[in-house]
Structures are given as C-alpha cells and as structure tokens.
A = this chain, B = another copy of it.
C-alpha cells in the first residue's frame, strides 16, 4: 500500500512502509494457494478445545468481561513471571516478579510502545539484516535512523556491532530476534548473547530481545536469554506461536523505568487488553502439565514438518541452498545468483504456492535471490506439494547460467 502525499496525513506517516507480508497474506489467502508466506502457527495444532474450555470457565466471572488493569491481568503477570524465571530471564538478578511484566496486545504492541517510550526522532537503532519487518515499521514510525548489522549461522554478528560501536555509533536500541530468527531461522549463540549484554552495559543502549519462537526448539533447548546476562535488556515474549494468535497476548519484561513508561503509554494507546483473552492465556500457560504436553506436540510436529520441507527442497530444488531449521517456523532459501524471487512470486501464485521474497526483509543488503518459507503451517504431505509447485515456478530457465 502506498499513500499519496497529502495535506491530511502527517509527514511521518507518509514515510512508513507497509508490510509487504501482510499485503501478501491477502493474495495467499486464495484457497488454491498453499501459503508458505505467513508466520502463522499450524491451524491443526492450535488448542481450540482447550481455549473453549478456558473461555467458558473465565466467563463464569463477571470480571472477565469488564475493563482490566493497563499493565495486565494480575494472574497472567504472575504466570508469565514464573515462566520467564524458569527460562532463566532473571539471571543472577534472581526471579522475575509480576511487577517486572507488562502484558501487551501481542509482542508487536510491546515493540511499538517500547519504541515510543525510549526513542526520539533521529535516534539510531540497530537491526538485524535481514530483519523482522514489524520491527522495521515501528522504528521507521518512531523516526529512528536504522543501522543494519549482518547475521550468520550463529545469529547477529555481534563482532560487527562491536566495530560500529568502536567507530562511534551510539544506538538507543539494538533489536534481535534471538532464537529461530525471522526470517533467517538462526539462533544467537550463547557467547554472543553474553557479549551483546556486555556491550549494552558498556555503551548504554538497550537490547530488545524479541523472542516469540524460543520455546519451539525441536530438541527443547535454547541458550539462556540475553536478559540473563545483563540488566539493559528488554525481553519480549508472546503467546501467539505457542497458544494462539487470536488471544493477542504478548509481554515485556524489563527495567522498572521502561515498564513504567510502557504502561503509561498503553493507557493512551488502548487503555488495556482483553480481560477475557488474558484469563484464557493465564489458564493455559498456568496449567503446567497441559502446557508441557502441548509444547512437546508443537516441537515434534515442527521437527517433522521442517524435515519434510528440507527433504523436498533437496530433492526438488537442488539449486537452492536452504537453512537447516532446529526450531521455530521458518526456512530460508537462497536460489542461484540471478534469480529474482520478487519477479517469480506471481508465477508461484499461479502455480499455487506463496512465499515471501527475501527483498521484503532487506535492510542494507538486497536479497533478490532469497525467500522465506514457513514450514509450520502445513502437514508434511502438503509441504511436499508446495515445494513441487515452487520448483515449477522457480525452475532455472534454459539459457540462464547457474552461479555455482
């Protein structure tokens, strides 16, 4: 979507880039298209019956339909604090307390409120390249100057960040999707997490540790959170990928000054979240045995789907180099040099498959030959068919040389 410059719309809004992905979701919603485009949890694995039971239980209490506290339902803040403590978020500082948690409408709102709380126009913000589009939108809307840092198989190139800092860069925020990166699929290595937290302490910036996928490790293990290693880390979590997106429950854990500012801004942003969906989230996250079993299912199924997808890619798209997912939802494909995945997308949709071209995530480095594919949304047999269709649309035309 592009907005024509207009006297009605503010100068800043006119500079905000719409999400190509959300526009794409409309296209890929066609029933004949297998969509690998969205970051949607698998419909067949969403715990709908358990949510219905929790809703029915919550609605026996009149408080479930009334306004709630801006910082979030007390019971949910308790459950999230316990959950983050268990994940190691508190580090040597001790347990995460309910007062350290602000519940938000998905972790996207946490990101937006955080940006509004700490950024002034012109502030520098470091992002990963390629990066999470929702974060880029937020930082653009806040008028920040976005500085890209690369990624490799161990996540953000913290050494590259250190060089930029040594060169005089003074960012206000450094954003990282620390586990099972969107879109690259990689996980920030343990030693880099420690180094990143130390750089934050030394140079006075805040790390935004955006972690919606961390619980989806196929083997159940991810390194301790960046937040375990220092105080200048704001950790964002979400129920969207482990329970259901429609709950619109995310959270922010951070220094008191930050949580207070975020809570204050949420008053004006939307007063409070839904007491009903927060009650449901507290019920499901707080039911330890059920949640452990549910996570085990998501991990087992995620691993099976990732394996089906990468096997099909190896078989049917031998020219492409795919990432090797160990958790999360995404596989990153790199096609031979000269491939233009943006140009190929209409052909792919005609062939009945959707993906997100790499260029949608590009910050500083163009990524014309890459694509993000979500393997989580479909069962193995559907993924195989999706890759077959991809191969049709992205077949190297005769006469075009290969780069390898």
A residues contacting B by CB (< 8 A) are 1, 3, 6-13, 16, 18-19, 22, 25-26, 38, 40-41, 43-44, 46, 48, 51-52, 55-56, 59, 62-70, 104-106, 108-109, 112, 116-120, 123, 134, 137-138, 141, 204, 206, 240, 244-248, 255, 257-258, 260-261, 263-265, 267-277
Contacts and interface: CB of A to CB of B under 8 A. Distances in A.
B270 A106 contact: yes
Contacts of A263: 1
A276 B257 contact: no
Contacts of A248: 105, 270, 272-274
A275 B246 contact: yes
Given A66-B244, A117-B13, A108 B55 contact: no
Given A246-B274, A274-B246, A10 B120 contact: yes
Given A8-B206, A13-B117, A55-B276, 13 more contacts: A3-B260, A10-B116, A13-B264, A46-B65, A51-B276, A55-B56, A56-B56, A104-B270, A134-B267, A137-B268, A138-B268, A248-B270, A248-B272
Contacts of A40: 66-67
A267 B69 CA distance: 24
Contacts of A277: 274, 276-277
Contacts of A258: 8-9
Given A105-B270, A120-B10, A134-B271, A56 B65 contact: no
Given A55-B55, A141-B116, A261-B13, A267 B19 contact: yes
A76 B117 CA distance: 32
A63 B104 CA distance: 22
A10 B257 CA distance: 11
Given A9-B261, A120-B11, A64 B246 contact: yes
Nearest to A240: B67
A62 B48 contact: yes
A235 to B, nearest CB: 16
13 contacts: A11-B120, A22-B271, A38-B67, A40-B66, A52-B56, A55-B56, A65-B245, A105-B248, A108-B269, A116-B141, A137-B268, A246-B274, A269-B269
A65 B43 CA distance: 8
A18 B244 contact: no
A233 to B, nearest CB: 13
Nearest to A136: B268
A158 to B, nearest CB: 22
B141 A265 contact: yes
A277 B249 CA distance: 13
Nearest to A137: B268
A52 to B, nearest CB: 4
A9 B8 CA distance: 30
A379 to B, nearest CB: 14
A3 B109 contact: no
A117 B9 CA distance: 6
Contact of A112 (B7, B65, B245, B269): B269
Contacts of A13: 116-118, 261, 264-265
A304 to B, nearest CB: 20
Given A1-B260, A11-B120, A268-B112, A246 B67 contact: yes
A31 B244 CA distance: 34
A280 to B, nearest CB: 9
A259 to B, nearest CB: 11
Contacts of A245: 65-67, 275
B274 A3 contact: no
B16 A265 contact: yes
Given A116-B10, A118-B8, A66 B51 contact: no
Nearest to A8: B257
